[in-house]
Structure 1
Amino acid sequence: METLRNKIENIMKKGSEARFSSVPEFVCYLFSVVYGIVVRIRACLYENGIARSKRLPCKVVSIGNVTLGGTGKTPLTLYVAELLKRSGYKVVVISRGYGGRAEKSGGVLSDGNAIFMDAEQGGDEPCLMATRLRGIPVIVGANRHLAGEKAMRSFDPDVLLLDDAFQHIQLQRDLDICLCDARKPFGNRHLVPRGRLREPVSHLRRAHAIVLTRYSTSEKMPATDRVTIEKYAPGRPVFRCSHMPAGLKNPATGKTHGAGAVTGRKVVAFSGIAENDDFAAMLCGIGADIAGFMSFADHHPYSETDVKEILQTAKDLNVDYIVTTEKDYVRIGKRMATSFPTLVFLISISFGEDADAFESFIKNRLSNS
């Protein structure tokens, strides 16, 4: 199964101009065509009022993307949640709870103080958000409308913040923010499973704003992608942000250290996120000496065998620390921290010179909707 996953991921990464060089590639292309037809029909039904979206009695903000994972939705959701809280709004975050046992049934993961589910129940990303967001409840559930109704009954929020909900058009929203990785906004421009698009790029028209994540002045976005955004989201504001190291947390002590804590130190790192290479690059960027790096699939459920392998690798290489991401740590838990010096790499979002404009846009949009 892992081999099949790897084959499909490799096909997704191939350029849009690549010929069908293998049977699996051709099969993926056929599936992407069928998937595209279904997605377009579904969107058409909602846009023409044949299928009706539902409304909740509060402001609704959605954060999502048009590609499979890795654009930085979770860090931006954290950023926007804190921004809204500082602005005086009573906020509840709603997440699908992907991979958790409560994904279908739904439930309150956190009331803003106590956390009632672990990653196996509520999913890794919602658990991460619940850990970081003090005073902001987190609810999980694949049906965002039902989750929203539960939020209204339990917490009476001013704003519901939907994580990864650009495709969840069954629920009306007052603000739809679409994220694009500035380095590769639309992948190879094919729909899954031939490419990484979850829906056609033309559906950017639903977005009220575009946020380019992992933006770097040294790496210019391809001109064709800029034209695509201008074509399908004309007049929409485009904001730029980047992912920044926010420190390293020692889960054994609860203390957070500066990024310099691993500068020149020998480490073994591991991650199971959409962009493992980005994590490795950020570690290198703060001067860590990576003696070994172990990559796993996104949302990987760590087994005892995995834990033993990571620990043994760290011991064999005689490193100072094991370093992983927040998302991975909520899945692997204390099994690692109590066995070997472990640090959790913290990431934050920085809008730089776009910060004031982004905040003003959100406030104005909510006050005028």
Structure 2
Amino acid sequence: MQLEQRFTQAWAKQSAWLNLLRPLSSLYGLVINCRRYLYHQDILKSYRAPVPVMIIGNITVGGSGKTPLIIELVNFLQYFGLNVAVISRGYGGQGPFPRIVEDSDTPDIVGDEPVLIVQQTGVIMAVGPNRQQAIELILQDTTPDLILSDDGLQHLALQRDLEWIVLDVDRGLGNQQLLPAGFLREPVSRLNTATVIEHGKSAQTDLTMQLESSALLSLETHSKNGSKFGSKPKPPVATTVHAVAGIGVPQRFFQSLKELGFEPIEHVFPDHHNYQPSDLDFADDLPIITTSKDAVKIQKFADMLPEKQIWILPVQAQLSKACYELLLQQLKDLNIVIPNLENT
């Protein structure tokens, strides 16, 4: 078992041995406070973009639903006529950076999440660990009304105008300890400094998000560009399937399959896993169902497994009305003109 998975299981169970790591968590917290102080005093320099920047992040390790939220926000803002751009670190991509994500780019170049975001929105997106360089690359070709940052909540070198923190309330905050004794990247008090979007069935506030599953899509080879999302008769309900997930919280995906009536054989891979054909070479002909995020990496070799039936379970972020209303008000407060607002 990889170290990442071992810690993930320990955090979920709140294992007693994690208490031994609390001195390291205290040291981690001290580093966080020192960094924030140095940026606040302008000892460490930060970059202010010439256009408004909105951070979509979280304070926990692991998936919280940021990518589906960004896709929904981009589509929503584009609907209202705004010119939106997105930046991302491009985790898992080899670059070179900074780089504008092209339709032909693959996850090993720009990362899996940027490929998925661009596929589903067509947004202009720049990736690279240096967010300033990514923004400046976008500004060479366009001046967006708003730049969304996929993650980067802890990237204090980038100043921001808005912060939305996605909080998985079903998973909770564990033992509320900072890394490594807990899975918090920042103290719980950080939630008081930003807009918090509660994700999960146990959400308590008006600002909520749910992930809704869509109909299964088949992953089919395409002679021109390798692969595409196609459609054909889906596996019937009550079918036993191989459920393949390399995401932050795979149990959420497995539970969705169960709620749809499938009987999943669970295959957990590390987040951002670089799939190989052998990962899906199961010794049977049962259907394989995976996530959209995993599919963008599996599609590169799907034609090498012609005997396998590979399916995608897409999910879409469904936000409460209050989220959309708050976002539009926040944009107005930043003097961002929303072209099509009066026509709705």
Q: What's the TM-score once normalised by structure 1's chain length?
A: 0.81
Counterpart position of 1:234: none
Counterpart position of 1:361: 326
1:194 deviates by: 1.3
- Which amino acid in 1 is paired with 2:162? L
1:344 deviates by: 0.8
Counterpart position of 1:342: 310
> Which structure carries more relative contact order (alpha carbon 8 Å, separation 6+)?
2
Distance in 1 separating the partners of 2:5 and 2:281: 25
Counterpart position of 1:224: none
Percentage identity across paired residues of the two chains: 30
Secondary structure of 1:191 counterpart: coil
Counterpart position of 1:301: 274
Counterpart position of 2:223: none
- Among 292, 307, 311, which residue is 1:326 paired with? 292
1:211 deviates by: 0.1
- Which amino acid in 2 is paired with 1:50? I
Counterpart position of 2:186: 199
Greater share of residues in helix: 1
Cα displacement string for residues 34-77 of structure 1 (whole angstroms, at most 9, x for unaligned residues): 21110111112223443343211112111001001211000001
1:5 deviates by: 3.1
Cα displacement string for residues 241-274 of structure 1 (whole angstroms, at most 9, x for unaligned residues): 111102221121733579x854233321111111
Where do residues 113-128 of structure 1 align in structure 2 (5 Å cutoff)? 115-128=103-116
Distance in 2 separating the partners of 1:262 and 1:194: 43
Where do residues 279-318 of structure 1 align in structure 2 (5 Å cutoff)? 279-290=253-264, 292-306=265-279, 310-313=280-283, 315=284, 318=285
Counterpart position of 2:230: 255
Q: Structure 1: where are the runs of 5+ without partners?
A: 222-236
Seen in structure 2, the aligned counterparts of structure 1 residues 251 and 304 have a Cα distance that, compared at 3 Å, is closer
Counterpart position of 1:86: 79
Distance in 1 separating the partners of 2:135 and 2:55: 12
Superposed CA RMSD: 2.3
Counterpart position of 1:273: 247
Cα displacement string for residues 96-124 of structure 1 (whole angstroms, at most 9, x for unaligned residues): 1011102x7220113xxxx1421001111
Secondary structure of 1:35 counterpart: helix
Residues 5 and 270 in structure 2, CA contact (< 8 A), matched pair in contact too: no
Q: Structure 2: where are the runs of 5+ without partners?
A: 221-227, 335-344
Residues 219 and 302 in structure 2, CA contact (< 8 A), matched pair in contact too: no
- Residues 1:246 and 2:233 aligned together: no
Counterpart position of 1:101: 94
Secondary structure of 1:241 counterpart: strand
- Which amino acid in 2 is paired with 1:184? R
- Which amino acid in 2 is paired with 1:132? Q
Secondary structure of 1:242 counterpart: strand
Seen in structure 2, the aligned counterparts of structure 1 residues 13 and 29 have a Cα distance that, compared at 3 Å, is farther
Q: What's the TM-score once normalised by structure 2's chain length?
A: 0.87
1:27 deviates by: 5.5
Secondary structure of 1:165 counterpart: coil
1:220 deviates by: 6.4
Distance in 1 separating the partners of 2:151 and 2:241: 32
- Residues 1:183 and 2:170 aligned together: yes
